[in-house]
Amino acid sequence: MKIVTVPSSLEERTFDQVVQQLPPGDASGASERVLFDARKLRWVDPYGMLGLLAAGQVAGRGGERPLLQLPESSEVGSYLARMGFMRQAEPIFDTHGATRRAQEGGSDVLLEITPVNSHGDVHEVVERVQGAATVILARQLQYPASAVVQFSVILSEVCQNILEHADAGGWVAAQTYNWAQRLGRKVAVIAVMDLGIGFRGSLASGQAARWGERWGDAAALEAAFLHGITRFPDPGRGQGLQQIRKQVGRWGGRFSIRSGTAEIADIPGWDDTPPLQSGLPPFPGSQICIVLPERVETEGNAPAAGPAGGRARRP
């Protein structure tokens, strides 16, 4: 049995610690059973929760469901229940009956973990989040009332990306946190993940020859993220990511996409991660993370740094 140790803090910055522990060949049918040891988990955000579900699904492709040891912290366990993690984990993991299903969908949840498998799911996500977004964006993040509509558009676009490019279903979740130490204010974190063909697979037929030897996961992300290239020939397609980049940038936020072995991001002034990373541990599909910070008086109406809100660029 292969043991995967879940870090005490599971989020975008630590997700690869889980990925790199997965047995090689899981995606092609490895038979070794995997145990995810999350007993020491002390903090997790939507990206971490979706990442754990995705890693569990990948680990189970060999046949036998992976085991999951739940966090010892009752506070973390309660939060996972409120976010709907255990309900989504039931068909993926063997938890020996420890479900912790109480208090699902608590009032402090912006958007609990929701599967996205159809356009109907996308519409449901947008409808469900509007009420909570009105309260949270205005009262907690100090955004104007018009931001609720723009927030809904962002959610719709990232979910549509799953349906149009992944050729597989996925999940979406969102929540607010107080990043007192990292940023000194509140943020909203939106995560969207799938285990589909990824950006490289989606764009290969139309872009691989054009990029030549440079073609790979990083080049595919550059093509989609920076240039709005899509596999669909229809005029105007591929602009969804560009619109998200602009809006997140206006709000001074961070927008990143991980796919395969690479990640690309618009980096605001408050973050210091590289705008493009390659050579990451391979993982199928695409993993999207959007971080929207609380507005402060000094930001005025245009907190973004540049038209895209960050430093994503071709190296």
Instruction: Tell me the torsion sign for CA atoms 269, 155, 68, 195.
Output: negative
Q: Which residues contact 221 (CB under 8 A, 6 or more apart)?
A: 199, 257, 259, 262, 263, 264, 276
Query: Do 137 and 273 belong to one domain?
Result: yes
pLDDT for 103: 53
Domain count, the chain: 2
Query: Do 122 and 230 belong to one domain?
Result: yes
Residue 237 has pLDDT above 60, yes or no: no
Residue ending a domain, among 105, 137, 167, is 105
Residue ending a domain, among 105, 140, 175, is 105
Residue 156: give its domain's CATH number: 3.30.565.10
Q: Which residues contact 227 (CB under 8 A, 6 or more apart)?
A: none
Q: Which residue has the higher pLDDT, 277 or 105?
A: 277
Helix (H, G, I), strand (E, B) or coil at 55: helix
Residue 99: give its domain's CATH number: 3.30.750.24
Q: Is residue 167 very low, low, confident or very high in pLDDT (cuts 50, 70, 90)?
A: confident
Q: What are phi and psi of 173, to 5 degrees?
A: -155, 155
Mean pLDDT for 128-157 is 87
Which residues form the domain of 89? 1-105
Residue 132 has pLDDT above 90, yes or no: no
Query: Do 96 and 117 belong to one domain?
Result: no
**pLDDT tens across 94-112, in order?**
987 565 554 555 556 889 9
How many CA atoms lie less than 13 Å away from 67 in the CB half-sphere? Answer: 13
Query: Do 240 and 268 belong to one domain?
Result: yes
Mean pLDDT for 64-73 is 95
**pLDDT tens across 15-68, in order?**
999 999 998 864 445 568 999 999 999 999 999 999 999 999 999 987 789 999
Residue ending a domain, among 105, 128, 145, is 105
Q: Is residue 164 very low, low, confident or very high in pLDDT (cuts 50, 70, 90)?
A: confident
| Strands in 38-184 per DSSP E | 43-44, 67-69, 111-116, 170-179
**pLDDT tens across 193-218, in order?**
999 999 999 999 988 998 999 999 99
CA-CA-CA-CA dihedral for 194, 52, 287, 143, to nearest 10: 110
Query: Do 81 and 142 belong to one domain?
Result: no
